Structure formats: C-alpha cells, structure tokens
Amino acid sequence: MALISLRIPDDVAARFSALAATKGGKSALLRRLIGDVLDTPTTCVAPMLVGRPHKVTVRFRESEMRQLTETAHQRGMTRTGWIVALVRSRLGSPVQYSPGEHAVLRAIVRELNRVGGNINQIARAANTSVLHGRAVEFDLSEIREARHVIELALAELRGALDDNADYWETRR
C-alpha cells in the first residue's frame, strides 16, 4: 500500500483531526475522500473508536489465569494489556504490538533513517561535484553496503509485521 504525506497548516490539521476522529480516523477519512474523488471504492477499515474506555470484569479459573499470565508474559505484556489487544484484534482494530515489537520497529526505523542520511550525504556530494565540473566517482562498495542494510532492515520489518499478524490471527 502506498503512503501519501502532506503538510498543512496547524489549524487545518487540528480541525481535520477533530472531524476524522468521528469518521474512523485520519487515514480512513483520507482513504474515503480519495476514493470519492477518484470514484473508486475504498477497502473497509474498522472505525477508530472514540471516547473514554469502559471497564469490563472477566472471571477466569485459576488454571486459566496461570495460562493467561504466562501467555501475556511471553509477549512482554500485562494480562490486561494482552486481553485488550486480543479483543481489539478480533474487533478489527489496527494491529496490536507488544512493547518488544515496538522496540524492534523503532530500531528498524532508526537504522533506515541512518541509511537515508548517508544516502543524502552521498547525493549532496555528487551534486556538489557536478556543480564544480568534477566527475562523480562512486564507491560501489558503500552503495552495496547501504543496499544490504536496507534489505536486512526491510526483511526484519516484514518479519515483525508478519509475526504480529500471525499471532493475533484467529486460531481454530
């Protein structure tokens, strides 16, 4: 799926966010608006729930509590956090991440940002050389290394996303 990014004034963003909160969230509203303009149906995305959460009490047997505690612990989550994530995943909410998954995703983003910064420096140096009438010499080993790092980070990202989706998928 493609990503579209844009900059708008802060006051417009605030007004749009307020409206979007009642329409399933900013992404869902933007998808619908783009679909309307292009006369293309958009995929159904579960609306983002708005409002204060309510408390629900659930009773478990002692053996179930032990199993629940162990299962949540294996995901690096609290029992309550795991139950909430499970219910939300079944209700069609966005993917539920454990703290460990968040850490992995942040590390991947940091690495990709680092590589992006290096690529920008390479492009800037090449542009400066061209402006001064010098031939641009590329160090293919550095380009190969950057490509390798990007491929590894993307593979790790795909793996993390696939593992998460597989975990929360309904088991029969």
Query: Which of the listed residues 95, 124, 155 is the one where a domain comes to its end?
Result: 95
Pick from 17-26, 58-67, 69-78: least confident: 17-26
Which span out of 82-91, 115-124, 135-144 was modeled with the highest average pLDDT?
82-91
Q: Determine, yes or no, domain membership for 88.
A: yes
What's the domain range around 46?
Answer: 11-50
Together in a domain, 143 and 107: yes
Tell me the C-alpha to C-alpha distance, in Å, between residue 5 and each of 2, 34, 44, 109.
10, 13, 21, 17
Tokens read off for 109: 């983003």
Choose between 62 and 28: higher pLDDT.
62
Q: What is the rounded average pLDDT of the residues 56-72?
A: 94
Q: Is the pLDDT of residue 149 over 50?
A: yes
Average pLDDT, the chain: 81
Instruction: Give pTM, 2 decimals.
Output: 0.47
Q: Is the pLDDT of residue 49 over 80?
A: no
Together in a domain, 119 and 151: yes
Q: How confident is the model at residue 87 (pLDDT cuts 50, 70, 90)?
A: confident
Together in a domain, 36 and 74: no
The pLDDT > 70 percentage for the chain reads 90
Q: Determine, yes or no, domain membership for 6.
A: no
Q: What is the rounded average pLDDT of the residues 4-31?
A: 83
The contacts found for 84-90 with CB under 8 angstroms, 24 or more apart, are: 85/168, 86/168, 89/168, 90/170
Q: Is the pLDDT of residue 134 over 90?
A: no
Together in a domain, 27 and 80: no
Q: Determine, yes or no, domain membership for 4.
A: no
What is the spatial distance between Cα 92 and Cα 118, in angstroms, rounded to a whole number? 39
DSSP state of 165: H
- Count helices and strands in the chain by DSSP H and E runs: 6, 0
Together in a domain, 151 and 107: yes
Together in a domain, 26 and 87: no
What is the pLDDT, as a whole number, of residue 172? 40
How many domains would you assign to the chain? 3
Together in a domain, 41 and 60: no
What is the pLDDT, as a whole number, of residue 170? 62
